[in-house]
Copies of this chain bind each other. A is one copy, B any other.
Amino acid sequence: MADQWARSGLDLHLAIDRAGGVRAGLEQALRTAVRDGRLSPGDPLPSSRALAQELGIARGTVTQVYEQLTAEGYLTSRARSGVRIAAQARPAGLPSLPPASPFRPPAGGVDLRPGLPDLSMFPRREWLAATRHVLQTAPNQAFAYGDPTGDVALRSALADYLGRARGVITTPEHVIVCAGYTHALRLICQALSGTVAFEDPTLQDYAALAERVGLRVTRMPVDADGLVVGGLTDESAVVVTPAHQFPLGVTLSPQRRRELLDWAGRAGAVIVEDDYDGEFRYDRQPVGALQGLAPEQVVYAGTVSKTIAPALRIAWIAAPTRLVPVLRAALRFDEAYVNAIDQLVLAHLIRRGELDRHLRRCRIRYAQRRDRLGRAVAARLPGARLSGIAAGLHAVLHLPGADEPAMRERLAADGVMVDPLSGFYRQPRQAPPGVVVGYATPPQHAYDSAIESLIAALAGR
């Protein structure tokens, strides 16, 4: 009895937070006492009458709390032994964990790594206005489980937009909305079998993804005309970046386009066209998508990650007819991940011409930046040269004869982040010396000084 009293309310220092009500406060206080170890498995609790008296609350409240915590497994209640702390009621505290590694380590200084648009251009006002429109007009049914291939409003807007802006031939039923290019590529890989060829250099993670879903991977070299098609044999598919090879920045030449389509026809293979920054060409009109020449041989994949922002997680596939059922089947277990509101927002922005206006603003800015980079290199880095066409969000700065470790050291010392070209090659030692410069990455006000820092570090001052 003394033991029971010693463990009752006041002695336990049950700090009851009454903000959410006495009952919730007492429940929480008892849970905390168990977790902190002030109450141990097997310990008896005072009777509901005794605890109620001590705390000055209704006995019914204590009874309800005891019932609740018994239902949750914290307490046991037996006829003769009364209410006790249950055997499993004391969970170990959770240790602290480091945060997850980010996709891109944060920039400590000047960030000129490729892969990002200028995020200060994100169309905040337009996105909000479109969200208002969607939330004011969408039927309730839009908030249910949607079409697994994406909302038909977005698929229709995309089919029209891709036809107009990229020469893609498709229909809304051939389009699948995805949650970013990685999701698109995984879905496509699930529809393939055998061996898939990737460009070399490229982002090595994509080949790893294909291997992860059970495909074999080969690599094909890239030259000034883009992918070297002659090396392809009996692969079931090839992943290419025809508009603006990543990272080399070349365009797949007309001759190579023909060769590639010929090969795919002979081999019965699929061409996966990664059109990740096809909207951006500064010297003349963008070259239309390869898909437009052979919509039944090419799986086209695009994304808003480079045109608007990666944080939106929206991409799309325009698939050949025979792959549509396979892709739809893959969606059963790797489903539609894109918030329906966001899909309707993007559809509205496309239909209203806002995406086109945004792209025009971006093109003007990026063209100026590329130009500025080119002039600085020409004037102050003798022997260096920018390669690739005037397109996209990045350029390769070739540095013939440069000592890569020393160069990296100077860049690091000056706090300038660019990606060495070698990191995109399967055999980094086969890469020519150079760096990939993401000229869209810095905010506008910091661009000139970013280029200044880059040139200074590379010139060795």
Contacts and interface: CB of A to CB of B under 8 A. Distances in A.
A143 B309 contact: yes
Nearest to A328: B100
A10 B119 CA distance: 47
Contacts of A296: 91-92, 94
A421 interface: no
A167 B295 CA distance: 54
A337 B70 contact: no
Interface string A323-350: 0100010011111111111100000000
Interface residues of A, number: 110
B71 A309 contact: no
A86 interface: yes
Contact of A208 (B119, B167, B251, B333): B333
Contacts of A186: 333-334
A313 B336 contact: yes
Nearest to A334: B186
A285 interface: yes
B341 A312 contact: yes
Contact of A132 (B20, B97, B128): B128
A82 interface: no
Nearest to A327: B100
Given A119-B143, A143-B119, A287 B91 contact: no
A76 B309 contact: no
B311 A73 contact: no
Contacts of A311: 142-146, 339-341
Contacts of A24: 285
Interface in A23-45: 23-24, 27, 31, 35
B94 A145 contact: no
A251 to B, nearest CB: 7
A284 B71 CA distance: 12
30 contacts: A68-B284, A70-B254, A72-B287, A76-B254, A86-B258, A91-B169, A91-B296, A92-B296, A93-B169, A94-B174, A97-B171, A99-B147, A100-B147, A100-B149, A103-B145, A104-B144, A104-B145, A119-B140, A124-B135, A127-B135, A128-B131, A140-B443, A143-B310, A179-B337, A180-B335, A182-B333, A182-B335, A208-B333, A212-B333, A313-B338
